[in-house]
Amino acid sequence: MGQWVDVVGQQQSGIPTQHSHGVYGGHPHHQAHGGGQHHGWIDGFRPRNLLVDAPPPQRAGREVLPMSVDGPILPTQSAQITARPQRVAFRPERVFISNASDATLGAAAFLVNDIKIGNRSQFSQSGSIPGDMFASVAIDSFVSFETAQTAMDIVMVVTYIGANSEGVPFYGAIIGTAAI
């Protein structure tokens, strides 16, 4: 893993005085004191933004990422569900598809056409897999996923293959580990 940094901008702390420090420790009255090199200043100019060392994550916690569609998905219709976790690093460990959508078939009422992290498919080749592989009552799906970085899309594409002509909603989730 690389170094953790935060991008910071102007940091005003009240009314500047002759002895107060301005942006990033630089003196706010720099020009009035005849120039010189101040910490954080480049060629007499204050920086607008600065990268500062940020503390690294202290632990990894288990988190849930909702992957649901409330409106109905009609038979043979596909839905693309996109989530964008906001943690530093989110590694999916388990995908769940609820049986609540279709009382007859449960998770088997859906095909999972693809799961992507960023722009990379997590399938070894193109094709669909049965939704009941990720049924909420299954012991484990034994699937490994890549880690999604901050604001990287996690996309799940599913197709409803059940018999309800009015369609059904899709209820799913991804459980994973996130650096916090």
> Tens of pLDDT along 105-149?
999 999 999 999 999 999 999 999 999 999 988 888 888 999 999
Reported confidence tier of residue 70, pLDDT bands at 50, 70, 90: confident
Task: Domain 60-179: give its CATH code.
Answer: 2.60.120
| Mean pLDDT confidence for 69-86 | 95
| Mean pLDDT confidence for 27-55 | 59
Q: How far apart are CA 161 and CA 130, in angstroms?
A: 10
Enumerate the CATH 2.60.120 domain ranges in the chain, comma separated: 60-179
Starting at the edge strand found earlier in the chain, the sheet holding 148-149 runs 60-66, 172-179, 89-97, 148-149
Pairing of strands 129-130, 5-8: unpaired
How many residues would you count in the chain? 180
- Distance of CA 105 to CAs 16, 18, 110, 163, 171, Å? 68, 74, 9, 9, 14
